[in-house]
Structure 1
């Protein structure tokens, strides 16, 4: 009798296992909207944790005319290019014997804070604090070295005419202009000395220009580090 009980238990286990696999193998149906949402969620998870607030993603909706898609396995997702590429494509794939794949176009933009002009400014104007504000913009619209702090450029002069709403870059300005009297900072180990000089050419942040030392009357090479401030390069 015990022998038959054991056989019955084994048969019950085998039957249960078979039924479980049949249920597990049932395909899951996804509408185009659900597939789009799943692709969006997956892409969001791929963003670095510290960058998720500074990235804007725009996933194109799948066309409803493709109808529902079914898959017996979990869907897999892949990006066609590196996540740093603005124009990209998400591949959605069903990896079963009845495999299928769909491609979803996506745009990935980095959002940054920038200094923006509050008014039109003519060439040669001196920048004042009331001309500037800060706002968020997509990095793709920026050409040049971005100005991120308005106070860094107050007192600089414009090299070209600028329009209201325009993003300000250091290429738009000369922090030191030809003929300006500038402070020359000289730092050599523990020694720090300041002198005055006259700029021999225009320079923006990081540029190397010639400056005539007013005391020695010698021309020296110096790096522009702020408005009307240069540092001697050894």
Structure 2
């Protein structure tokens, strides 16, 4: 039986057409370009685990005519500077079948915020802080200046040295874990034993800082490190 030449011709033509269509470059999807720009910026960000990160790429006009591209798009930051609030991403197509490569620039906005302890109400100097007087809010990274705290438990029992307005961050410079004139426990510890006595702070200090303390029993002045509210430690 002779082969049906017409059938073979049309079958071959169909396969050739399908292959041609598969190789035909297509215009990239606008949403895919925006996603690629967002992912490019995200790879350059290494925030702390407790940070909140928002990355918002520029929204392209749906009427924008995107040139065709038969190769995967590539994207890179338009400059080598560190990630900031506003960034520019270059999206490119370098398909070998194009007469010339094309590129598109998108702006990408980044917002990074961190948890910071703030005052629930306006607090006066001399206030002993309690959990009810504080709250945790997320603050933009560019507003996080100086020593701040990310948990209210860190500040319970500390004393304010100056007025703090409502919703304002409580800075390390606003407080003292041990304040001048406070009675403190003085701890001296080794691996085998511990000595505990009492004293009086002669200056303000915060956690980890060294201050001068007067030993109430011996009247001697010593250098001690603040370990928590109302407690200092000396070396043996």
TM-score by length of 1: 0.77
Structure 1, unaligned runs of 5 or more: 1-7
Q: Distance in 1 between matches of 2:80 and 2:235?
A: 42
**Counting helix residues as a fraction of each chain, which structure ranks higher?**
1
CA change 1:91–1:138 in 2 (3 A) is same
The 5 A counterparts of 1:195-210 are 195-210=197-212
Q: What RMSD in Å do the two structures reach over aligned CA positions?
A: 3.6
Contact 2:34 2:59 (C-alpha < 8 Å) held by counterparts: yes
Retained in 2: the 8 A contact 1:44–1:52? no
1:56 aligned residue? 54
Task: Please say if residues 177 and 207 of structure 2, whose CA atoms lie closer than 8 Å, have aligned partners that are also in contact.
Answer: yes
Partner of 2:222: 220
2: distance between equivalents of 1:183 and 1:141?
A: 36
In 2, distance between residues paired with 1:190 and 1:218?
25
* 1:48-80 superposed Cα distances (whole Å, 9 cap, x missing partner): 799598322122334667542332211112234
How has the CA–CA distance of structure 1 residues 85 and 92 changed in structure 2, closer, same or farther, with 3 Å as cutoff?
same
d(CA) in 2 for partners of 1:62 and 1:223?
A: 57
Structure 2: runs of 5+ lacking an equivalent:
1-7
1:113-192 → structure 2 map (5 Å cutoff): 113-192=115-194
Q: Cα–Cα, structure 1 residues 51 and 132, in superposed 2: closer, same or farther, change >3 Å?
A: closer
Matching residue of 1:28: 26
Task: Sort the Cα spacing of 1:23 and 1:64 in 2 relative to 1 into closer, same or farther, 3 A.
Answer: closer
- Higher mean alpha-carbon deviation, 128-137 vs 24-33, is at 24-33
SS at match of 1:130: helix
TM-score, with normalisation over the residues of structure 2?
Answer: 0.77
Residues 115, 35 of structure 1: CA spacing in aligned structure 2 closer, same or farther, 3 A cutoff? same
Equivalent-residue separation in structure 2 for 1:52 and 1:115 (angstroms) = 13
SS in 2 for 1:30: coil
